[in-house]
Structure 1
Amino acid sequence: MTSPILTDSFFASLESSTLNLADSETLPPECYTDADFYEFEKEALFNHEWLCVGRVEQVANPGDYFTTKIIGEPLVIAKDRAGEIRAMSSVCQHRAMLVAEGAGNTRGFVCPYHHWTYDLDGRLVGAPAMDKTCNFDRKKFSLPALKVEIWQGFIFVNFDAEAAPLAPRLTVVEEAIANYDLASAELADTITGSFAWNWKVMFENNNDGYHASKLHQGPLHDFIPSNLAVFPDAAAEDAGFLRFNGALHKDPSFNPTQKAILPIFPKLTDEDRTRVTFANMPPTLSLVMTPDLVIYLILRADGAETMEQDTGVLVAPGAKKDPAFSHKLEAIMNSAAKIIAQDMHVDELVQVGLRSRFAVRGRYSWQEGAQGQFNQWLVARYRKAWDRLKGPKKPVKLAAANG
């Protein structure tokens, strides 16, 4: 690492972002803008953490697949003939052509360039005209595989073959959202967008309780005011953290009525139904949970100042059977779109501000408790990766004394 900012002093300065919120300050602007820091961050976070890529409903049947990309790596997610969900590189092991695009159902993956053919589990099963190639062994040319874990119906992958399981580090989050029973929820819609800002800008906005009553003031959002935000404690080993935002009435929902218009998730308690729950699993997944709808956001970094995001909608089992379902969902999503547009405008301009010579390390309000937890999650991993990458200190070589 030779970047001028990747130094011991820079990483030592990050500790001030992990203090108690009343004493803490924001991360340095370079963490959101610097290309070398992004390259470091890929190793510190994305190469070893569990990354959400989608929902099991997207690969419901054998042969179903979809493609995605994160930190520049094109991936294909598929259900094989035995019913196991696989995550693989979609890069052909011959000349690097992608073997899959989009989504669909297939018997296998055929590289369109030279027709090397891969089974649904990634094994190379066909390689035309390779009979004269010396010592060619198909078994050595399978699509590289990633670890897979399913949590609450979400598909997580990990580039690190030695990574510890995810679920044991999400017990606090899982207990808090258990009554939504997301594994049984129904997928209603998904969209994907590309954005010109750092992934952390988006993730922090998703976490932030402070801006709710300021940026989003008005009838589409004012039923969950910022002063009713609560941030449960998160332990250092946790892989996720929470924000509960109390509501001014039961069954709040983002639509002009401010109240649920779709069926309520059936297992919710009265406590669940008088708040909006925000669950965050960095670096890729955020959940916005109202009693009648869950919006999930899958953040996919692809540069220091660029990212993509998959946005999905989950509803209670059976909700889609209502003849008026599409109209009710449209009412919610039209309202949500107005709120999201406000967030997107802020994200864009925050990224502009972070590039300025006048950008400073700011201070936090108590209503930004999730930001403090996010910083603690980040800095612990930055510190560990920096210590690993810089290697042991080299001994100082003293000049021989004269005489």
Structure 2
Amino acid sequence: MTALPNSTDSGFEIVRALRNNCERPFEDARAMPPEVYTSGAFLALEQREVFRNDWLCVGRASALAKNGDYLTATIDDQPIVVLRDTNGELRAFSNVCLHRMSVLLEGRGNVRRIVCPYHAWNYALDGSLANAPMMERQAGFCKEQYQLPSVRCETWQGWIYVTLNEHAPSVQTHLSELTNLIEPYGMTAYVETFHEEHIWHTNWKILAENFMESYHLPMLHRSTVGPHSKLEEMECPPGLPAFNYHWITKEASLPIGNAHPDNSRLEGHWRRTTALLAIYPTHLITLTPGYFWYLILQPRGVDQVHIRFGGGLAPEFVNDLKADEYMATLKALLDEVNAEDRRGVESVFRGVQAPLAKPGHLSHLERPNYDFARYLASRLGTA
């Protein structure tokens, strides 16, 4: 673990409480202290030690299919843009103009050049300054001296990851153990068919923890997926440094919940087994033999989380004549599940603010939450 923050840091006692909690064996594990979710000082530590240093997923590479396609994101306070350049390569840059520091692009889209909305300085897709109106009158100005700062950008299993950490191992190395676990699914070939963005009124970690554990399925999701999940058969193995995971065997309520007849990658019980993957800190994936869906989280203060929400189909279902029907049915189900989850996680956030709130013991199905807490405790502090 990194060193604790010094005693003048207002997040010191919260980090100490979290670490003390994480020193318990799993058999005696408790939920994280309420202040972990409500303290601005604790969030500042997360931004400094976690978000500025770890690999962060920003979306699916297939969403940027054409040259000039882009998406935007923020790492802590740093706006970034990820785009496909004129050579068809994915690149990431600071999304801040080098003139008067306006944010350049918003959302998603396609551009031939990156044009600043303030003074029309514009940049080629390699980040070089292409034109700056009327700046030739300034003798000290040299266009060739301007280049948008690059941000590390790599792909894994069809996902785009970025980091501000120049010294982080490659994302392929970082997630190599997860690659081995899920390789038979062939997630790289899954096709994203929808993408949305939302703001929920909860702490980002409450939503992450909700995704990680399936203990809540029979109750919170009793009207949707709960009855189809066999908790008695669930496996929650110990997590690894970069991620945690667990498996659910389902009697699929949708045809796409199981492997397509043309799927030759999966055999036996794996043809009906769903993997729930929590890639630290904020990338959450439900990977089934027939479809996937995901959440990518970004804190907006302690009380709001920005969510990138999307999903799609395995290639066999994409090529099926009923692909549109399957996708519409999946999307309708996921919208219901999300509505249930939103009620749950916003209720928890109200609860953790209560003066009498106190964390209780975790169940054996909440092993991923224990591992997530240990990940946070290991990352927070000063270098």
Q: TM-score, normalised by structure 1?
A: 0.86
Q: 1:300 is matched with which residue?
A: 298
Q: 1:26 is matched with which residue?
A: 31
- Cα displacement (A) at 1:373: 1.1
Larger Rg: 1
Alignment pair present for 1:330 and 2:328? yes
Cα distance change, pair 134–181 in 1 and its aligned pair in 2 (3 A): same
- The one-character-per-residue Cα deviations of 1:184-216 (angstroms, maximum 9, x if unpaired) are 111111111111111101100000121112222
Residue correspondence of structure 1 range 3-402 to structure 2 within 5 A: 5-7=10-12, 9-18=13-22, 19-133=24-138, 135-218=140-223, 220-235=225-240, 238-247=241-250, 249=251, 252-253=252-253, 255=254, 260=258, 265-382=263-380, 386-388=381-383
Secondary structure at 2:199 match in 1: strand
Cα distance change, pair 100–219 in 1 and its aligned pair in 2 (3 A): closer
Contact kept in structure 1, 2:190 and 2:314, CA below 8 Å: yes
Q: 1:396 is matched with which residue?
A: none
Secondary structure at 1:303 match in 2: coil
Contact kept in structure 2, 1:264 and 1:292, CA below 8 Å: no
Contact kept in structure 2, 1:264 and 1:316, CA below 8 Å: no
Q: 1:399 is matched with which residue?
A: none
- The one-character-per-residue Cα deviations of 1:281-303 (angstroms, maximum 9, x if unpaired) are 01121111222111111112222
Secondary structure at 1:60 match in 2: coil
Q: CA RMSD in A?
A: 2.3
Contact kept in structure 1, 2:40 and 2:301, CA below 8 Å: yes
Contact kept in structure 2, 1:173 and 1:242, CA below 8 Å: no
- Cα displacement (A) at 1:180: 1.6
Among all aligned residue pairs of Structure 1 and Structure 2, give the percentage whose two residues are the same amino acid: 28
Gaps in structure 2 of 5+ consecutive residues: 1-5
Q: 1:397 is matched with which residue?
A: none
Gaps in structure 1 of 5+ consecutive residues: 389-403
Contact kept in structure 2, 1:180 and 1:267, CA below 8 Å: yes
- Cα displacement (A) at 1:318: 4.8
CA distance in 2, matches of 1:223, 1:363: 26
- Cα displacement (A) at 1:146: 1.0
Worse-superposed segment, 106-115 or 145-154: 106-115
- The one-character-per-residue Cα deviations of 1:364-392 (angstroms, maximum 9, x if unpaired) are 1111011011111111001xxx233xxxx
Contact kept in structure 1, 2:37 and 2:206, CA below 8 Å: yes
- Cα displacement (A) at 1:60: 1.5
Contact kept in structure 1, 2:245 and 2:368, CA below 8 Å: yes
Q: TM-score, normalised by structure 2?
A: 0.91
Cα distance change, pair 5–152 in 1 and its aligned pair in 2 (3 A): same
- Cα displacement (A) at 1:266: 4.3
- Cα displacement (A) at 1:49: 0.4
Cα distance change, pair 81–263 in 1 and its aligned pair in 2 (3 A): farther
Contact kept in structure 1, 2:37 and 2:302, CA below 8 Å: yes
Number of aligned residue pairs: give it: 377
CA distance in 2, matches of 1:219, 1:272: 22
- The one-character-per-residue Cα deviations of 1:309-348 (angstroms, maximum 9, x if unpaired) are 1111121225334443222222222222222211110111
Contact kept in structure 2, 1:234 and 1:241, CA below 8 Å: yes
Contact kept in structure 1, 2:30 and 2:359, CA below 8 Å: yes
- The one-character-per-residue Cα deviations of 1:41-99 (angstroms, maximum 9, x if unpaired) are 10010000000001111212222212233434332111112222111122111112222
